[in-house]
A and B are shown apart, each in its own frame.
Chain A
Amino acid sequence: MIKMALLSIEGLSKSFGALQVLNNLSFEVEQGSVFGFIGKNGSGKTTTMKIIVGLLKAQSGSVHISGVPVKYGETKTNHMIGYLPDVPEYYGFFNAIEYLRLVGQIANMSPAKIKSQTSELLELVGLQDSAKRKIRGYSRGMKQRLGIAQALIHEPTLLICDEPTSALDPQGRSDLLGLLELVRQRTTVLLSTHILTDVERVCDAVGVLDGGKLALYGKLDELKAAHRRDTIVIEMESAAAAQRLAQPLLGLPFVQQVGGGGNTLTIDVHNVTANGRDVLAFLSEQDSTVRAYHVLEPSLESLYLDVIA
């Protein structure tokens, strides 16, 4: 099955005065995926998200959601999007239930649907015990949780979260990531964050925004495979054992270089998929124990630092 692009952005440019923030930015987010949107402070993530939800006007370019164009100041695509801003602001004189009722009514939901969604979502985000307290008294993390609830109340097809975990406690952060994994069956997610381990946990695709464009863009596993260096790391039981192996390993035809220190060896080979097994076979013939063997995967962090630097 060919997956359709739920969100497609084409040639988006935006500047504030002389400051060009987005420069011909294009990317797509497939239906059902969780897209991690990363980039330095001030690289334009929030700006891009505001354009997608129609809160900001781009100078040029287009945004389509399920094929419907987003127009600034219009509300045609709103029912498809749930948006959690980086710092959500509420009416402090309302409690959570009243607030969700307001946005539900604006989204033209039926009273019964609002009620069932409200109780389900408040439970899901862990606000059920504070639901009748005025939002004025909420902590930042509680506001973030309410932000998730309001973003999901109308069952959007696209959820846009701007640094959703930034105010959350460790439990809340883990809960939120779990929640994203839960909603992805129905809802495509665009998530901006600075926490790369979060991206590795929940995202299947990423885009790194730099200089107004995506400096790195694609499926996470494909990116990792593409940037994989053919390096094998082995860990021996002692430094001496590691030393002893270095020379014979270099003698193997497909090994290009052997490095490392202490009891680990890093072996650069010609083609890890084809020759990894031979390295293993060689190791099994030695009379010292191999504690660990793995093919070095680039972390998202190293990929990120590579393209940003």
Chain B
Amino acid sequence: MNGFLPFLKKEITQTLRTYKLLILVLVLVSFAVMSPALARFTPEILQLSGIEGMIALPAPVALDSWIQFYSTTSQMGILALMLIYGGILSGEKSKGTLVLPLTHGLSRSAALLAKYLVSVGGWTVSLALAALVNHLYTLYLFPGEEVAFVLGGLASFWLCGVFLLSLVPLSSVLVKGSFGGLALPGGVLFTLLVLMIFPDLFSFNPLLLASSPLQVMAGVDEWTILLPALITSAVTSAVAVAAAMVLFRRSSL
């Protein structure tokens, strides 16, 4: 793991100076700004447009703002995350910028791990900031309402992102080209979406982590229903990163 710390520092500088982190934070925080407002004012907007007579809308509650937040973030947010960090290794491979650090003794595993950690760090920071904004804005728009700021729900959603990010290095090692890092996560995401149809495989599906926190928050389910998906995601992430390291050591640049 020679060169891990200097390379990690380089990755952090890169994510800051190339505005990757900033863009991701802005995207997720913008969802956090829109979601509570949408939840709170949708009935009134519909009323103004004169269609209130057709559907009877229940009065919005604080939980609706979280439903809105998770549904946007689990689609557009994950998409933004993958677009921003999907090229973190492929880009360097196709540009050839790793050659000089490698000739100075940088270990390939160190480079790969540093990249993965920085992408996870970017996801963590932007999701945490967005959740905080969503929480505060929800408190403001729905005063006096009790809604637990469920850390468990947030953490399981976070793990879903970590899982998808862990496929990026492996994909970048296996698939050539600047967008090689997106091939495997894209394929896996698609497959898992299809698998959501089959109930027997349902409980292991990591995508459950992005859809079920709401049920848990609403008290419909116990959080233990997420346990199989949590375990699959954590184990797969570790295996994917380890496999990527082994293969990267042998692959040609």
Query: Which among B14, B18, B99, B253 has the highest number of chain A CB atoms within 10 Å?
Result: B99
Are B102 and A55 in touch, CB under 8 angstroms? yes
What per-residue 1/0 map shows which CB atoms of B1-30 lie under 8 Å from chain A?
011011101100110011000000000000
Q: How far is the CB of B173 from chain A (nearest CB, A)?
A: 13
Contacts of B104 in A (CB 8 A): 78, 103, 106-107, 150, 154
CA distance A98 to B108 in the complex (A): 21
CA distance A229 to B53 in the complex (A): 107
- Closest partner residue, chain A, to B102 (CB atom): A55
With contact pairs A55-B253, A102-B6 given, residues A89 and B96 touching in the complex (Cβ less than 8 Å) = yes
Contacts of A293 in B (CB 8 A): none
Question: Is B191 in contact with chain A by the CB < 8 A criterion?
Answer: no
Are A93 and B14 in touch, CB under 8 angstroms? yes
Q: How large is the interface on A (under 10, 10 to 19, 20 to 34, 35 or more residues)?
A: 20 to 34
Interface with B: A20-28, A80-88, A124-132, A170-178, which one? Answer: A80-88
Contacts of B100 in A (CB 8 A): 83, 85, 88-90, 103, 150
Q: How far is the CB of A83 from chain B (nearest CB, A)?
A: 5
CA distance A90 to B97 in the complex (A): 5
CA distance A91 to B108 in the complex (A): 17
CA distance A106 to B13 in the complex (A): 16
CA distance A106 to B100 in the complex (A): 10
Question: Is A241 in contact with chain B by the CB < 8 A criterion?
Answer: no
Question: Is A108 in contact with chain B by the CB < 8 A criterion?
Answer: yes
Contacts of B106 in A (CB 8 A): 75, 106
CA distance A98 to B10 in the complex (A): 9
Residues 92-142 of B at the A interface (beta carbon under 8 Å): 95-97, 99-108
> How many residues of chain B are within 8 Å of chain A by beta carbon?
28
Question: Is A57 in contact with chain B by the CB < 8 A criterion?
Answer: yes
Are A53 and B103 in touch, CB under 8 angstroms? yes
Q: How far is the CB of B205 from chain A (nearest CB, A)?
A: 36
Contacts of A283 in B (CB 8 A): none
CA distance A75 to B3 in the complex (A): 11
Question: Is A254 in contact with chain B by the CB < 8 A criterion?
Answer: no
- Closest partner residue, chain B, to A134 (CB atom): B17
Contacts of A55 in B (CB 8 A): 99, 102-103, 253
Q: How far is the CB of A124 from chain B (nearest CB, A)?
A: 18
Query: Which among A56, A90, A98, A106 has the highest number of chain B CB atoms within 10 Å?
Result: A106
Are B103 and A78 in touch, CB under 8 angstroms? yes
CA distance A106 to B7 in the complex (A): 8
Contacts of A75 in B (CB 8 A): 2, 105-107
- Closest partner residue, chain A, to B110 (CB atom): A106
With contact pairs A91-B10, A93-B13 given, residues A105 and B252 touching in the complex (Cβ less than 8 Å) = no
Question: Is A217 in contact with chain B by the CB < 8 A criterion?
Answer: no
Are B108 and A106 in touch, CB under 8 angstroms? no
Contacts of B105 in A (CB 8 A): 75, 78-79, 106-108
CA distance A55 to B252 in the complex (A): 7
Residues 248-292 of A at the B interface (beta carbon under 8 Å): none
Contacts of A107 in B (CB 8 A): 104-105
Question: Is A73 in contact with chain B by the CB < 8 A criterion?
Answer: yes
The listed residue (B101, B108, B250, B252) touching A102 by CB distance below 8 A is B101
The listed residue (A57, A79, A85, A106) touching B101 by CB distance below 8 A is A106
Residues 53-88 of A at the B interface (beta carbon under 8 Å): 53-57, 73, 75, 78-79, 81, 83, 85, 87-88
Residues 73-107 of B at the A interface (beta carbon under 8 Å): 95-97, 99-107
Are B97 and A94 in touch, CB under 8 angstroms? no
Contacts of A54 in B (CB 8 A): 103
CA distance A183 to B69 in the complex (A): 62
CA distance A57 to B251 in the complex (A): 10
The 7 closest A-B pairs by CB, nearest first: A105-B6, A106-B3, A78-B105, A93-B17, A75-B105, A89-B96, A106-B104
Q: Which residues of A contact B (CB under 8 A)?
A: 53-57, 73, 75, 78-79, 81, 83, 85, 87-91, 93-94, 98, 102-103, 105-108, 150, 154
Identify 15 residue pairs between A and B in the complex whose beta-carbon atoms are under 8 Å apart, listed by A's number: A55-B253, A56-B252, A73-B249, A73-B250, A78-B103, A85-B96, A87-B96, A89-B97, A89-B99, A89-B100, A93-B17, A98-B13, A105-B6, A106-B2, A106-B106
Q: Which residues of B contact A (CB under 8 A)?
A: 2-3, 5-7, 9-10, 13-14, 17-18, 95-97, 99-108, 249-250, 252-253
